[in-house]
Amino acid sequence: MHLCVVDPADEAAVAALHRIYVTVGRADDPEAFVAAPVEEILECLREPTARFAFTAFLGLEDGEAVASGWCALALADAPQLAYATPRVLPEFRRRGYGSRVLAAMERHAGAHGRTCLQSLAVWSADHGPDGSGSAPAGFAAAHGFGLAKANIRLRLELPSDPARLDALLGERAAGRVGYTTRAWVGPVPAELLPGWAVLHAVLSADEPHGALERPEETSNPNTIRDDERILARSGQVKVNAAVLSPAGETVAYSSISTRIGSPEAAFLRGTVVHRGHRGLGLGALAKVQALRLLERTRPDISAVITENDQENTHILELNRAMGFLPVLYSGAFQKHIGASAAS
């Protein structure tokens, strides 16, 4: 196999990279895979974002692209971390290609001073919460990675059940007097951005992260605008809801990403409530408002996908109460690499 780094100006290479990503995603996650469009991949490769510098690798066998590697070096907040995802077309597995792509990414990460590698993967429910017997778990173990965080992916078929959502909203309504909601499609309005950025950092700090090394994210409106720029340039748009306290601060949000003009499943990206306002059902309120706006504005979309930590019982219960059903497991594998990888 010939291995090369993908030049973002090489359209055929970027298209081949995207093809492998979509083929592997659909093969391993037929019910819940939501493909990022090729433009998003291209946008990431063209210039670093505030948080990541991306590099892609392509493995060619007789001129045909059969394997890929997607490597993101974390920047500012986590200079020790790199995320590395090897992908091999199903019919070319167990020939050592995945190992070669991973080795190239390990060298790349080591050469840039990274000491901790993380890799995300999915496996079907038959392999259980820890993935025993699945390809990613076997591959990760063979390369010295341990499972550091286990998630569950869930799917909600649309239209949702209005009575179920009403019942959920009714539960703690009395405690929410004076709180108001705003829901919109597109970027976060400027007046809500500082509060939204604070909540984004709270989400990253408070979501369970198992044994994963994680960056301490600081509140930074630029990272929110960065994500929005990538989404916009790749034909995606967010459907959002925010909850404002009686004093007018943004204290909760929920955000769902959709593809413009495509009925593919939408992805519920994150829901968070400010620490001082928990226990009032504001997470449920934000989620339901975002979902209702999605259903009003995009009746063509037939499902929403989300992902939760397996230990995050509170949010799992909330998602199940909305009608989400588990479809498969996913997890993050982690390995520490020494200085020798940099040579």
Residue tagged 């298209």 (tokens) = 15
The SS3 of residue 185 is strand
**Residues 111-170 within binding reach of ligand COA (CB under 6 A):** 119, 121, 135-136, 138-140, 142
Rounded least distance, CB 56 to ligand COA, Å: 14
Residue type present at position 43: E
Residue closer to ligand COA by CB (options 86, 281) is: 86
CA-closest candidate to residue 50, choices 240, 235, 207, 221 = 221
Residue closer to ligand COA by CB (options 109, 197) is: 109
Number of residues that bind ligand COA (CB under 6 A): 22
Residue closer to ligand COA by CB (options 32, 224) is: 32
CA-closest candidate to residue 72, choices 56, 86, 87 = 56
Residue closer to ligand COA by CB (options 19, 277) is: 19
**Does residue 96 belong to the site contacting ligand COA (CB under 6 A)?**
yes
Rounded least distance, CB 186 to ligand COA, Å: 33
Rounded Cα distance between 270 and 203, Å, is: 8
**Residues 174-213 within binding reach of ligand COA (CB under 6 A):** none
Q: Would you give the end-to-end CA distance of the chain in angstroms? A: 23
Cβ–Cβ under 8 Å, residues 41 and 18: yes
Rounded least distance, CB 94 to ligand COA, Å: 4
Rounded Cα distance between 282 and 253, Å, is: 8
Cβ–Cβ under 8 Å, residues 105 and 341: no
**Does residue 93 belong to the site contacting ligand COA (CB under 6 A)?**
yes
Strand partners, 144: none
Rounded least distance, CB 139 to ligand COA, Å: 4
Residue closer to ligand COA by CB (options 70, 196) is: 70
**Residues 297-316 within binding reach of ligand COA (CB under 6 A):** none
Cβ–Cβ under 8 Å, residues 51 and 227: no
Alpha carbon of 339 to those of 71, 75, 79: distances in Å? 18, 19, 14
Rounded least distance, CB 147 to ligand COA, Å: 10
Rounded least distance, CB 146 to ligand COA, Å: 11
Residue closer to ligand COA by CB (options 78, 137) is: 137
**Does residue 14 belong to the site contacting ligand COA (CB under 6 A)?**
no
Q: Are strands 303-309 and 266-273 parallel, antiparallel or unpaired?
A: parallel
**Does residue 333 belong to the site contacting ligand COA (CB under 6 A)?**
yes
Residue closer to ligand COA by CB (options 82, 284) is: 82
Rounded least distance, CB 131 to ligand COA, Å: 9
Q: Cβ-count burial of 341 within 10 angstroms (0-12 exposed, 13-18 middle, 19+ buried)?
A: middle
Among 32, 42, 73, 98, binds ligand COA (CB under 6 A): 98
The two structure tokens encoding residue 173: 């309504």
**Residues 213-232 within binding reach of ligand COA (CB under 6 A):** none
**Does residue 35 belong to the site contacting ligand COA (CB under 6 A)?**
no
Cβ–Cβ under 8 Å, residues 141 and 97: no
What's the DSSP call for residue 186?
S
3 phi and psi angles, rounded to 5 deg:
-110, 130
For the packed helices 313-322 and 162-170, what is the interaxial angle rounded to 10 degrees? 140
Among 46, 94, 164, 336, binds ligand COA (CB under 6 A): 94
The two structure tokens encoding residue 284: 């449920």
**Does residue 97 belong to the site contacting ligand COA (CB under 6 A)?**
yes
Contacting positions for ligand COA (CB under 6 A): 24, 28, 85-88, 93-99, 119, 121, 135-136, 138-140, 142, 333
